[in-house]
C-alpha cells in the first residue's frame, strides 16, 4: 500500500533517491539545495549507504563518479556557483559514460546572485556547460510529487543510458510543502552488465556499452581522453574521435521519443502555453480559472533532449506563450523548431508569474 505524506520538495527528492536505491551521496551544502544533503546524511547510513561531505563541488562530482564505477547508485545536489564548479567533471562523466544523478535546485544568478530566490537560469548550462559536443538528460519537476517521481526516473535513465542525468528544479519547488503519495516500491532499471569477452566500451545496438561489474575480474581503463573500445587513449585519431563523440550524442538523441516526458492539455487550442518547472502551476491556474478549451498547455517534464516532436501535438496553434524564470532560454530553443510565433514571458528576481498576468496574454475573459 502507498502512504500519503506532507513533505518539502527537497526532502521528497531525497526520499525518491533512497527509494530508487541510491546508496552514495557526495556533496557540499549550498542554498537552496541543502535539505537534500541533510536528509541523505541522516537516512543513508541507516540503509547501509554512504554519505560524504566533500570539500567543494569539484570534489563532490568526482566522488559520485568514482562511487558509480564501484556499482553504486550515486547522486549529488547543488545550486548556482556549485553547479558551475561541477562542469569539468560532468564532461568527464559523459566521456567515461558514468551513470549518476545531479540535482540542481536553481537560484538567481550570475555569481552569488540570490541564494534564497528561485530561478531557472541554468537550463542551457546543464545542456552545454561542459566543453565539447555531447548529450545529456534533464528532468524538470513542477510539484513535490514530481520531485519524488522524477528523482526515481533520473536514476533509471542514468543506468539505462550510462549518462549523467540532471534534476533541474528551483527554490520554489525545492522548498514548498505539499501532500504526496509515497508508493511501497518503485521501478528499478538495472545497468546492462558487460558480458565476458566483450570490450568494455563496445556498444550494443542501442549504442550503450554494458557496464563492468566491480570486483568481477574485468580490467577496464577509464579515461577522459578520446579512447577506443578497450578504453585505451587514442586522442590523435580524427575518425575514432568523431565516432566516439557521435555515439555519445546519438545514444541519447536517437532515443528522444522513447524517453520524452510531457503532458498535453487541450490539443485543439490555438493559444498554447509551454512550461517546465514551477511556471506550470500558474498556467494550470489560468486553465482552471478560464475553463477555455482554446487555451492549451504543453508541460515539459523532460527538457533535454528537447522533445521538438511534441510541438505537433497542437496542430491548430497560432502562438506559443513560454513563461520562464530566465530571459528565454528554452523559448529560443522552442523557436528553432516551429514557424508558429513564440512569445517569451521572462521573469527574473525570484517572483513567480502571476496567473492574472498570464491570463491577460490569452485575451480570454478580458
Grid coordinates belonging to 134:
555531447
The answer to whether 13 touches 36, Cβ cutoff 8 Å, is yes
Q: Does position 278 have pLDDT exceeding 60, yes or no? A: yes
Instruction: Give residue-wise pLDDT tens across range 180-217.
Output: 999 999 999 999 999 999 999 999 999 999 999 988 88
**How many residues are there in the chain?**
366
Instruction: Give residue-wise pLDDT tens across range 106-125.
Output: 999 999 999 999 999 999 99
Hey, do 3-182 and 263-362 end up sharing a CATH topology, with the first three levels equal?
Answer: yes
Which residue, 222, 97, 116, 104, is CA-closest to 164?
97
Query: What topology is assigned to 263-362 in CATH?
Result: Rossmann fold (3.40.50)
| Chain centre distance of CA 297 | 21
pLDDT band at 366 (very low <50, low <70, confident <90, very high): low
Grid coordinates belonging to 16:
525518491
Q: Residue 217 burial (CB < 10 Å; 0-12/13-18/19+)?
A: exposed
Strands (E), 183-313: 262-265, 271-276, 295-300, 302-304
Q: What is the pLDDT of residue 365?
A: 60
The domain limits of the chain are 3-182, 263-362
Task: Report in angstroms the alpha-carbon separations of 202 from 182, 185, 209, 301.
Answer: 39, 33, 5, 31
Reported pTM: 0.97
Please tell me the distance from the alpha carbon of residue 20 to that of residue 14, in angstroms, as a whole number. Answer: 10
DSSP 74-121: EEEEE-HHHHHHTHHHHHHHHHTT--EEEEEEEEE-STT-EEEEE--T
Instruction: Give residue-wise pLDDT tens across range 305-364.
Output: 999 999 999 999 999 999 999 999 999 999 999 999 999 999 999 999 999 999 999 987
Instruction: Give residue-wise pLDDT tens across range 43-63.
Output: 999 999 999 999 999 999 999
Grid coordinates belonging to 194:
558487460
- pLDDT, mean of residues 269-287: 98
Grid coordinates belonging to 72:
553504486
Proportion of the chain above pLDDT 90, given as a percent: 97
Please tell me the distance from the alpha carbon of residue 306 to that of residue 300, in angstroms, as a whole number. Answer: 9
Q: Does position 218 have pLDDT exceeding 90, yes or no? A: no
Please tell me the distance from the alpha carbon of residue 90 to that of residue 67, in angstroms, as a whole number. Answer: 14
Which superfamily, per CATH, for 3-182?
Thiamin diphosphate (ThDP)-binding fold, Pyr/PP domains (3.40.50.970)
Sheet strands side by side (includes 342-346): 262-265, 295-300, 271-276, 319-324, 342-346
HSE, CB side, 13 Å, CA atoms: give it for residue 294: 9
The answer to whether 349 touches 114, Cβ cutoff 8 Å, is yes
Amino acid at each position: 500500500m502507498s502512504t500519503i505524506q506532507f513533505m518539502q520538495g527537497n526532502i521528497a527528492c531525497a526520499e525518491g533517491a533512497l527509494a530508487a536505491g541510491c546508496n552514495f551521496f557526495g556533496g557540499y551544502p549550498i542554498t537552496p539545495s541543502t535539505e537534500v544533503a541533510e536528509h541523505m546524511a541522516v537516512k543513508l547510513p541507516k540503509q547501509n549507504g554512504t554519505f560524504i561531505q566533500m570539500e567543494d563541488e569539484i570534489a563532490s562530482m568526482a566522488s559520485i563518479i568514482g562511487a558509480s564505477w564501484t556499482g553504486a547508485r550515486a547522486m549529488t545536489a547543488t545550486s548556482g556557483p556549485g553547479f558551475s564548479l561541477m562542469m569539468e567533471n560532468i564532461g568527464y562523466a559523459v566521456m567515461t559514460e558514468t551513470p549518476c544523478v545531479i540535482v540542481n535546485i536553481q537560484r538567481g544568478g550570475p555569481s552569488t546572485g540570490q541564494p534564497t530566490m528561485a530561478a531557472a537560469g541554468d537550463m542551457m548550462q546543464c545542456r552545454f556547460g561542459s566543453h565539447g559536443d555531447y548529450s545529456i538528460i534533464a528532468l524538470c519537476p513542477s510539484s513535490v510529487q514530481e520531485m519524488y517521481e522524477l528523482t526515481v526516473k533520473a536514476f533509471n535513465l542514468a543506468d539505462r543510458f550510462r549518462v549523467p542525468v540532471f534534476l533541474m528544479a528551483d527554490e520554489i519547488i525545492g522548498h514548498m510543502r505539499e501532500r504526496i503519495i509515497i508508493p511501497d516500491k518503485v521501478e528499478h532499471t538495472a545497468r546492462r552488465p558487460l558480458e565476458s569477452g566483450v570490450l568494455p566500451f563496445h556498444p550494443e545496438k542501442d549504442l550503450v556499452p554494458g557496464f563492468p561489474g566491480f570486483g568481477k575480474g574485468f580490467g577496464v581503463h577509464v579515461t577522459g581522453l578520446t579512447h577506443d573500445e578497450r578504453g585505451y587513449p587514442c586522442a590523435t585519431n580524427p575518425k575514432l574521435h568523431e565516432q566516439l563523440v557521435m555515439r555519445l550524442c546519438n545514444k541519447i538523441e536517437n532515443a528522444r521519443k522513447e524517453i520524452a516526458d510531457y503532458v498535453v492539455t487541450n490539443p485543439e487550442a490555438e493559444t498554447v502555453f509551454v512550461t517546465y518547472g514551477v511556471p506550470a502551476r500558474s498556467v494550470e491556474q489560468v486553465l482552471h480559472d478560464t475553463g477555455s478549451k482554446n487555451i492549451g498547455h504543453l508541460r515539459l517534464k523532460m527538457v533535454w533532449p528537447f522533445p521538438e516532436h511534441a510541438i505537433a501535438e497542437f496542430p491548430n496553434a497560432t502562438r506559443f506563450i513560454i513563461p520562464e524564470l530566465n530571459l528565454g532560454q528554452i523559448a529560443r530553443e522552442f523557436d528553432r523548431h516551429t514557424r508558429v510565433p513564440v512569445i517569451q514571458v521572462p521573469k527574473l528576481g525570484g517572483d513567480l508569474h502571476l496567473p492574472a498576468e498570464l491570463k491577460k496574454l490569452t485575451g480570454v475573459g478580458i
